Amino acid sequence: MEIFAVNLLNPLCFSTYEQLLRLLPLEKQSKLRQFKRFEDSMRGIVAEMLIRSIIKKKNVRNDYKYNFATNTYGKPYLSDVENFKFNLSHSEDWVVCAVDGNQIGIDIEKEKLIDIQIACQFFTKRECDYIFSLKDQQRSRFFDIWTLKESYIKAVGLGLSIPLNSFSIIMDSNNSTIGIKSECNDTSFYFKQYSIDSFYKLAVCARHDHFPSEIKQMNLEDLVSEIIG
């Protein structure tokens, strides 16, 4: 397993954005152009370039052709490679990607000001009790649970066909993930949280517990140079 990250603090200029966009299939170009905010489209393009860079560096394919497909629930995969799984996520200043030979899910979220009460609309009672048990940590705990749940849903690959309140993330007294509890979902997964930025939460979910100790950070300029020279 490897985890990669690109920081977007210095974002793409519009001309570079257009250059990169034209490298993608027309269907993907059209989808990215539909975003109302340039920043959202830019993150999508960087994510596309990041996974292509990883595939090339890891020699997943000898000809570097990218035969991407999506499953019924929208999760992308390489249609002609069996032992290479990946998942992407982005939020504000970060784009991240996790790759592995087995099912993998990753989620990153910026800790924004929100109404924490919204948690009880989506989470289980056990999770809400955990979130609200310490007043000064409610927002932090909310995003802990949110990213962990999202990483699980993305690893399973069934999207929001799995209701968020159909399973519980179990945390111990030291705020460490110790498991997942569900009566109807596959729970044979492992979790790890990473500290990538003081304003963000990042969680990874996998079929095994052999998580890397560090995230491989890539420079955006280097990534762009690698793709378009």
The phi and psi torsions of 197 (rounded to 5 degrees) equal: -165, 140
Q: What pLDDT score was predicted for residue 92?
A: 95
Q: Are strands 177-181 and 168-171 parallel, antiparallel or unpaired?
A: antiparallel
Give the E-state strand segments of 36-147 in sequence order: 68-70, 76-78, 85-91, 94-100, 104-110
**Nearest of 216, 213, 168 to residue 193 by alpha carbon:** 213
The answer to whether the CB of 106 falls within 8 A of the CB of 88 is: yes
CA 98 to chain centre: 7
The answer to whether the CB of 133 falls within 8 A of the CB of 88 is: no
What fold does the segment set 2-228 form as a domain?
Answer: Ribosomal Protein L22; Chain A (3.90.470)
Tokens of residue 202, six digits? 């990042």
Q: What pLDDT score was predicted for residue 64?
A: 55
Q: What pLDDT score was predicted for residue 132?
A: 92
DSSP character at residue 16: H
Say which amino acid occupies 29.
Answer: Q
pLDDT along the chain (229 residues), means of 10: 96 93 93 94 96 88 73 88 93 98 97 86 92 91 95 91 90 73 80 95 96 96 89
Q: What pLDDT score was predicted for residue 58?
A: 85
Q: What pLDDT score was predicted for residue 176?
A: 66
CA dihedral 216, 220, 224, 225 (to 10 degrees): -80
Q: What pLDDT score was predicted for residue 15?
A: 94
